[in-house]
Amino acid sequence: MKHFLQVAAILSLLVTLPALAGGDADAGQGKSAVCAACHGADGNSVVPNWPTIAGQHTAYLERQLGLIKSGARPVPEMAGIVPALSDQDIADLAAYFSAQTHKAGLANKDSLDVGERLYRAGHAKTDVPACMACHGPAGEGNPLAVYPALAGQHAVYLEKMLKGFRSGTLWGEGDESSKIMVDVALRLTDDQIKAVSDYIQGLRAVDE
CATH code of 40's domain: 1.10.760.10
Percent of the chain with pLDDT over 70: 86
Specify the pLDDT at position 14: 40
Whole-angstrom CA distances from 206 to 13, 17, 134, 167, 192 are 24, 24, 16, 33, 25
Region of poorest pLDDT, from 13-27, 34-48, 76-90, 182-196: 13-27
Of 98, 133, 151, the last residue of a domain is 98
Specify the pLDDT at position 176: 74
Our CA dihedral for 197, 202, 206, 208, rounded to 10 degrees, sits at 150
* 111 and 8 inside one domain: yes
Q: Is the pLDDT of residue 112 over 60?
A: yes
User: CB neighbours of 82 closer than 8 A, spacing ≥ 6?
Assistant: 65, 68, 69, 75
* 196 and 112 inside one domain: yes
Of 69, 98, 127, the last residue of a domain is 98
Of 79, 98, 117, the last residue of a domain is 98
Specify the pLDDT at position 147: 93
Q: Is the pLDDT of residue 175 over 90?
A: no
User: CB neighbours of 61 closer than 8 A, spacing ≥ 6?
Assistant: 53, 93, 94, 97, 98
Region of poorest pLDDT, from 91-95, 114-118, 156-160, 170-174: 170-174
Phi, psi angle pair for 66, to nearest 5°: -65, -40
* 108 and 197 inside one domain: yes
Higher per-residue confidence, 58 vs 112: 58
Specify the pLDDT at position 174: 62
Q: Is residue 191 part of a domain?
A: yes
Our CA dihedral for 193, 195, 201, 206, rounded to 10 degrees, sits at -110
Percent of the chain with pLDDT over 90: 68
- Taking the CA of residue 73 as centre, how many other CA atoms within 13 Å lie in the half-sphere pointing to its CB? 22
Domain residue limits at 189: 2-12+104-201
Q: Is the pLDDT of residue 32 over 60?
A: yes
Is the pTM higher than 0.75? Answer: yes
